[in-house]
Homo-oligomer: A and B are copies of this chain.
Amino acid sequence: MTASPIPERFKRHALQPEEAQRRLLARVGRLPAETVALSQAWRRRLAEPIAAPHPFPPFRRSGMDGYALRAEDVRAASAGSPVTLEVLETLPGGTAPTRPLGPGQASRIMTGGMLPEGADAVVMLEMTDAMERGGKPFVKINKSVPPGENMAGIGSEIREGELLLEAGRLVGPGEAAVLAACGYAQVSVFRKPKVAVLSTGSELLEPSEPLAPGKIRNSNAPMLEALIREAGAEPVLLGKVPDDADEAEALILRGLEAADLMVTTGGVSVGDYDILVDILARWDGETLFNKIAMRPGSPTTAAVRGGRLLLALSGNPGACFVGFHLFALPALRAMQGVRDPLPFRFPARLAVPFPKVNAFRRYVRARSEIRPDGTVWVAPTGEDQSSLMTTIVDADCLIEIPPLKEGYSAGQPVMAVRLGERS
């Protein structure tokens, strides 16, 4: 092969977003597990499935405040003709019965209490009258009950060994309750992915710096830091570099060593100062893709070096935001054991016309709304062309607009990608 006269940066082949996601995810492995205390497991993902270690409830539990008894003893009981039973003991929650019931016997029991041997039903307190006879406690039962009434049998809620939580599941309030109930004071979760962030661009200032002519403050790094935390990962902030390929390359190599995913912003277009393009053209890494048939973020680029991933996002805040959701987030989910890590998509209707003609698929930052008739509508949060951060602030989804020769009218059915993390 002879060297091509066309510069490498112009020879890009555009992939469909799905193909780019597929290529990226093919290179992502699950991270190792680690054990943490239950209270530290919040917002982590389970490394192992959780099965019920014993049946729930683990004993025959009263569902009422009343008397545990033998249903056959009160078969004929009624308000007019009550049945009198001897009361053996009182069983509040947390107390093991000490005396099995024989014929004609009952025990006072509270909601959640453990039924004594011999009992097979509970009569609620309101259907009874306590009394004493010869200094001993008795109770009049004014109602018959079928066997099993007002009680939960062993395993009636959950059978022993039943799968309760799948591996990869996010630990939220319900999961914490299940883990505690199953005796997991320690939980095996996937290690948090480390994500290094480097911003490139000579125009960037730190948030603390005063404005200067031609400069803007770097808003992508703080945005990515929050997105990375939302994804259950740990940001490693490498700061910013001017448009200098050597300086950037040194930091990228450092980030690839320190992190499971290296994310850069800026420098991926085809301009004279797009240094990521230069770095990828000369280094010994493998480029997975460098052009995607979508807007914004068409020059979004991914590469692998030494088994570590580099995702080079556009410096435009809107494109950076979309690129993170479509590519970084699925990778971080996959590292944490999520079986279907791709973004969650939902059908909706377009609340306003979208008159723009598209040669490529567009991901439009949008807000969803449920109307009184229970239908979901989505409306762009601002002008799609704009790089406004304000269109990111209000967005809770991205409308997918396919390539269009004529625009869409309001009411058009569309698909949208939900933003934010999910279980």
Contact = CB atoms under 8 A, between A and B. Distances in A.
Given A110-B272, A183-B217, A376-B370, A230 B172 contact: yes
Nearest to A396: B423
Copies in the complex: 2
A103 interface: no
Contacts of A54: 211
Nearest to A91: B214
A176 B269 contact: no
B271 A181 contact: no
Nearest to A156: B386
A165 B59 CA distance: 54
Contacts of A220: 177
Q: Chain A interface secondary structure, helix, strand, loop or mixed?
A: loop
Nearest to A235: B39
A215 B94 contact: yes
A272 B178 contact: no
Nearest to A387: B157
A34 interface: no
Nearest to A186: B208
B219 A178 contact: yes
A111 interface: yes
A409 interface: no
A94 B212 CA distance: 9
Interface of A: 38-39, 42-43, 54, 56-59, 65, 91-97, 110-114, 157-158, 164-165, 171-185, 201-204, 206-227, 229-230, 237, 242-243, 269-273, 315, 317, 321, 346-349, 370-377, 386-390, 392-395, 413
25 contacts: A39-B237, A42-B226, A43-B229, A58-B216, A65-B269, A93-B201, A95-B202, A97-B213, A97-B214, A110-B271, A112-B201, A112-B216, A112-B315, A157-B387, A172-B230, A174-B389, A174-B394, A177-B223, A177-B317, A178-B390, A181-B389, A183-B211, A373-B413, A374-B376, A375-B376
